[in-house]
Structure 1
Amino acid sequence: MKKIFILEDLDCANCAAKIENGINELDCVNKASVTFMTKKLVLEADEDKMDKAIEEATKIVKKIEPDVVMKAK
């Protein structure tokens, strides 16, 4: 299952890379990619793990970039 999010107020390419790497380390995530130019996060996880993946991904985003808002596209 794949979900797309917009990372509003993301203004640091290095932070985007850190967010992507952090989310990819989660056990509940199959794959994650962050595109800094479009501020887009593509999150792939099994359907039964998607809610947990979104919750954990949000925590990582807030830890690295507290001002960024993760909104479903």
Structure 2
Amino acid sequence: MKKTVKLEGLDCANCAMKIEQAIKEISGVEEASVNFMTTKLKVSAERAQMPRILDEVIATVQNLEPDVVVMKA
């Protein structure tokens, strides 16, 4: 299953790279990519694990970049 979220307030390419790398480390994430130009994060994982993973994505983004808000795309 693939899920896309918007990273509102993402204004730094290095920050996008940090977020992408951290999301890839979350247990159960098969693939993750951040497009800095569109400020969208795409995550692939098993459907059953997606709710937990999305919660961890939000927590990870808040931890790394407190000014960035994760929104449904």
Q: Deviations over 1:24-67 (max 9, x none)?
A: 01112111100111101001110000001101111110011101
The count of aligned residue pairs is 73
Show structure 2 runs of 5+ residues with no match: none
1:42 and 2:53 equivalent?
no
Name the structure where strand makes up a greater proportion of residues: 2
Q: What TM-score, normalized to structure 1?
A: 0.96
TM-score normalised to structure 2 length = 0.96
Percent identity, aligned pairs only, is 48
The letter for the 1-side match of 2:5 is F
Query: Unpaired runs of 5+ in structure 1?
Result: none
Matched, 1:22 2:22: yes
- Using the TM superposition, give the Cα deviation of residue 11 of structure 1 relative to its aligned residue in structure 2, in angstroms: 0.7
- Runs of 4+ with deviation above 4 angstroms: none
> In angstroms, what is the RMSD of aligned CA positions?
0.7
